[in-house]
Structure formats: C-alpha cells, structure tokens
Chains A and B, each alone.
Chain A
Amino acid sequence: MADKDDGGGAAGAAGDDGGEQGTVARLSRAVTLVNDFLATVCMNLAGIGLVILTVIFGWLVFGRYVLNSTPTWVEQISLLLVVFIAFLGASAGIQEKTHLNVDVMTMRMPRRIKAFLHAVVYLTLAGFGIFLAVYGFKLVQFKWGSLIPLIGWSEGIRVLPLFFGGVLITLFSLGHLLAMSRSGWDKITGIEPDELGD
C-alpha cells in the first residue's frame, strides 16, 4: 500500500505552510483509508460474483441432465456477472496496484523524473476513469430502453459496472496522487510477485 510512512507531515511540521501540509496529509490518509475499504468491498463483491457464476453454471448442467429442462437465464446472467467481476476487480486493482505495467525504462530514472512520470500515469488513469464514468453513464441511458433477451432486464444494466468502475478508478488514482504528494514517489505496481497473472 501507499501508506508506508506514518510520521512526516501528519504531525504538522512547524513553519509557514505547516498547517496546510498537515491538512493535506490528514486528508490523504483519510482518503487512503476510505479507498482501501472501497477496494476491499469491490474484491469481496466480485468474489461473491465468481462463486455465484460457478454455482449457476452447475445448476445449468443439473437442469439439462437431471431436470431435462435447461434454465434459459443462466447464460445471460453470467455475461452480466463477468462484466461486473471484471470492472470491480480491475478498479480494485488500481488501489491494490495489481495491474501489470512495464517499468524497464522508468526503473533506472532519477527519482524526481520517476515521480513526475508516476504522477502522469495516475492523472491519465483518473482521466480514463472520468471518461468511463461519463460516457458509461451516457451508454447506460442510451441502452436503457433495450431489453436483454430471455431475462427481460434492461441492457443498461450491462454497462453499469463500467460507470461504477470509472468512478472508482478516478477515486483510487486521485487518492494515489494525493498520497504521492505526501510521501513522494512510490511504486505503481506494489504486488507480491506470485500474485501476478498472465
């Protein structure tokens, strides 16, 4: 996590800008706390989604072979669940820093340039999050009148995870930026190596 130093500006260093520093640091710490909590909630919800996905597919097979009547809703609900798992999990990945990036070039750079580039990365991610939230919402509205076949729900539901994901990605990226302003440069990918996927 970004929250490695507990000392520093939080105690309110003396000096002219000390008060402001303290406020930023406190704010940043609060944001990190809230964001960590949000990310955990996302992961748990997505986890429940995965278990449901597995169980309903078990039910599909059971229905086809034992009940001789294939449940027709499983396919459509599963497709909704996958989008849900993907965007919730991917947003949480921003907070937990589990996304794969390439740091061969940035690795050998001076700290200040590295910090600058990482700020650019988080700003870009925040921008992408805003794009997802705004245009995701527009697509939800556009699709709202269409229906998903066989289950009859609105097609807009399919896009909702992108809207929420966009909001979360923005929050998480800005939170990291704030944390950087407090504790300086920190790694974008901070995971244990064995948690990498391919």
Chain B
Amino acid sequence: DAKEWRAWNIHVEGYPNTVAMDKFAELVKDKTGGSLEITNYHGGVLGNQPDAIEQVRIGALEVGNFNLGPMGTVIPETNVVSLPFIFKDLPHMHRVLGSEAGEVIKQGMMEKGLVPLAWYDSGARSFYNSKKPITQPSDVSGMKIRVMNNELFTGMVGALGGDGSPMAFSEVYQALKTGVVDGAENNWPSFESTGHFEVAGYYSLTQHLIIPECVCISKTAWDTLSDAEKKAVEEAAVESATLQQELWAKRSEQSKQKVIDSGVNYNEIADKAAFQDAMKPVYAKYIEANPAQADLIAKMQAVE
C-alpha cells in the first residue's frame, strides 16, 4: 500500500514555494504511480524551521523546504552561505551549489540526516531603512539595523559601523515605524509582504546575502525507498525547483514594482567592492573560529 509522507513548509498559500511544494507532491504521486503520497503542511503550522529540521532529522516528518540560513547552528557546513557577499548574484549561487563546494555542503547535510534534493531560490537580501539611501559603507554608520539571529549578521552590520540588533521578526514593523531600529534587511517579496516598505522608505540593493533553500528528505525515510522511487522523488524535486525559480523571479519583480510605485526610494550600489572589503574582518573572524571551513570558503570563492 501507499507510503504517506508529511512535508513542512513555512510559506503561505500562493507563495512561490508553496505552489512549488504542491507541485512536488503532485509529481511524486504521478511518478511513483501512487506508491508514495506527500501531504503538505504549509504556513509553518508544525513548528518553526529549527523545530522542523529537528523533526525531519528525527523522522517525525519526511520532507522539509528549508532555508539554509538558520541551518548553520545544526550543520556547520551550511553556515558558509550566510557569509555576507559570498555569492555575487543568484546565478553565481547556483553555479557554486553545482560545484565541488556544493557537494561538501550536501555531504554535511547528509551526515546530519537530511537528504537535499533540489535548490529553491529565496532571492537576495538588501538593506532598507527609514533614514537615507545607502550607497557606501559609511552610510550604515550609526544606524540600528535589525538582523537575523546569527553572529555573522551582527558582525556584518558592526563592520559597516552600525549597530546590528537581533529582534523577533514579528516586532520589526513596529520597531521600524517607531524608530526602535532604523532599518532591516530582506528580499523584495518580504520587504513588500511584511509592509515594511510603508515604514522604511529607502531600499538599497546591496544584495549582501543570497541564501539558497532546499527540498530535504529525512534520511530514515529516504532509505526506505526503492531505487526507482528515489529517482522519481529526485526528479520531482528538481522539476518543482524549476517552477519555484520561475515563480520566484516573477514574484520578486512584482514586489519590486509595487514597492517602487508606492514611492519607496530605491538605489543600486555602484561600488560593491567597498562593502566586500569591509567584510574582511568578518571573514577573518569566521575562519579563525571555523578553521575546518577555510578550504570550503576558498572553493566557493574560486567558482566564477
């Protein structure tokens, strides 16, 4: 009889990842001739990402659509994608993940019980704030910027001369509106859907973080599949990723347009190298703390 799997996804109905995960479930059913059925639990109803990662590792869940950012505390190899400016742009990220460096990251995930099958996009994160356009590193100086919970991000803002302040995501809108923080950083769709653009009028395309997402299968569940089933599931994941990337690009463009139409002041960065240079102490500190990853970082940087 058919195997029944459960999949975790944090995004809401209609979001590119949600549509793609539904497609994934549909494709898996087709390709396995109905021997494997996946039920999606969207909207993070089964817990936040760290919890869901744990559930997949333990085998309480079989599938997860995870962002690699918060994975670093569990799987050290995945933390490298959170190094500011490690990827030049989205295509570069995919080239790196397809290279030998990508294999090292995958291997790290496999060792912790996650089988990554395909990569989803989550765009590029850039700074936005309520004060002024950021064109050079010194513009960040003195700003309080909300960042995600990771030393690399507080370190990044610190290296630019600002105050990197971790804060619960749910508090950010209020904090921006009232000046508890001056700015935050995120991709276009999040900047738009959270309404942060209503309270932070300057979006500067620093693209300092380009963090991939993955469709991961629990190792224990994966091992119960026949080779034919494995092949089917992997194909389904890759096809769903193609769809996700298309939808993501479209969604990103829509959000950007909507935000700019609403009067947000948007600027690109002419001299990105100045920002990258400012990150040298962040990298040095990271490599000092994680010497085992020096080689991986070098491999990533070597990819054209």
So, do A and B actually touch in the complex, CB under 8 Å? yes
Flag B137-151 by CB within 8 Å of A: 1 or 0 each. 000001010000111
Closest partner residue, chain A, to B72 (CB atom): A149
Bin the interface of chain B by size: 10 to 19
Flag A68-82 by CB within 8 Å of B: 1 or 0 each. 111010011000000
Residues on B with C-beta less than 8 A from A69 are: 163
Residues on B with C-beta less than 8 A from A68 are: 142, 163
A150 at the interface (CB under 8 A from B): yes
Q: How far is the CA of A96 from the CA of B17 in the complex (A)?
A: 50
Residues on B with C-beta less than 8 A from A149 are: 70, 73, 149-151, 166
B74 touches which one: A64, A76, A146, A152 (CB < 8 A)? A146
A150 touches which one: B58, B70, B154, B168 (CB < 8 A)? B154
Chain B residues 124-169 with CB under 8 Å of chain A are: 142, 144, 149-151, 154, 163-168
Contact of A64 with B165 at beta-carbon distance under 8 Å, contacts A142-B58, A148-B73 already known: yes
Residues on A with C-beta less than 8 A from B151 are: 149-150, 152
Whether A75 lies near B54 (C-beta < 8 A) is: no
Residues on A with C-beta less than 8 A from B149 are: 75-76, 149-150
Q: How far is the CA of A68 from the CA of B144 in the complex (A)?
A: 8
Residues on B with C-beta less than 8 A from A150 are: 149-151, 154, 166
Whether A72 lies near B166 (C-beta < 8 A) is: yes
Whether B73 lies near A146 (C-beta < 8 A) is: yes
Residues on B with C-beta less than 8 A from A64 are: 144, 163, 165, 180
Q: How far is the CA of A143 from the CA of B51 in the complex (A)?
A: 11
Chain B residues 104-118 with CB under 8 Å of chain A are: none
Whether A75 lies near B166 (C-beta < 8 A) is: yes
Contact of A143 with B165 at beta-carbon distance under 8 Å, contacts A150-B149, A150-B151 already known: no
Residues on A with C-beta less than 8 A from B168 are: 75
Whether A143 lies near B163 (C-beta < 8 A) is: no
Flag B160-194 by CB within 8 Å of A: 1 or 0 each. 00011111100000000000100000000000000
Whether B165 lies near A70 (C-beta < 8 A) is: yes
A147 at the interface (CB under 8 A from B): yes
A186 at the interface (CB under 8 A from B): no
Whether B154 lies near A72 (C-beta < 8 A) is: yes
Whether B73 lies near A147 (C-beta < 8 A) is: yes
Flag B79-101 by CB within 8 Å of A: 1 or 0 each. 00000000000000000000000
Residues on A with C-beta less than 8 A from B180 are: 64
Q: How far is the CA of A114 from the CA of B54 in the complex (A)?
A: 42
Flag A130-147 by CB within 8 Å of B: 1 or 0 each. 000000000000110111
Closest partner residue, chain B, to A138 (CB atom): B58
Closest partner residue, chain A, to B165 (CB atom): A70
Chain B residues 59-80 with CB under 8 Å of chain A are: 70, 73-74
Closest partner residue, chain A, to B148 (CB atom): A149
Residues on B with C-beta less than 8 A from A147 are: 73
Contact of A70 with B73 at beta-carbon distance under 8 Å, contacts A142-B54, A150-B154 already known: no
Residues on B with C-beta less than 8 A from A76 are: 149
Residues on B with C-beta less than 8 A from A70 are: 144, 163-166
Whether B73 lies near A155 (C-beta < 8 A) is: yes
B288 to chain A, nearest CB (A): 14
23 example contacts (A-B, Cβ-Cβ < 8 A) are as follows: A68-B142, A68-B163, A69-B163, A70-B163, A70-B164, A72-B165, A72-B166, A75-B149, A75-B166, A75-B167, A75-B168, A142-B58, A143-B54, A146-B73, A146-B74, A149-B70, A149-B73, A149-B149, A149-B150, A150-B149, A150-B166, A152-B151, A155-B73
- Extra contacts besides A70-B144, A150-B151 (15): CB < 8 Å: A64-B163, A68-B163, A69-B163, A70-B163, A70-B165, A70-B166, A72-B166, A142-B58, A145-B74, A146-B74, A148-B73, A149-B73, A150-B149, A150-B166, A155-B73
8 A-B pairs closest in CB distance: A149-B149, A70-B165, A146-B74, A147-B73, A146-B73, A72-B154, A149-B150, A149-B73
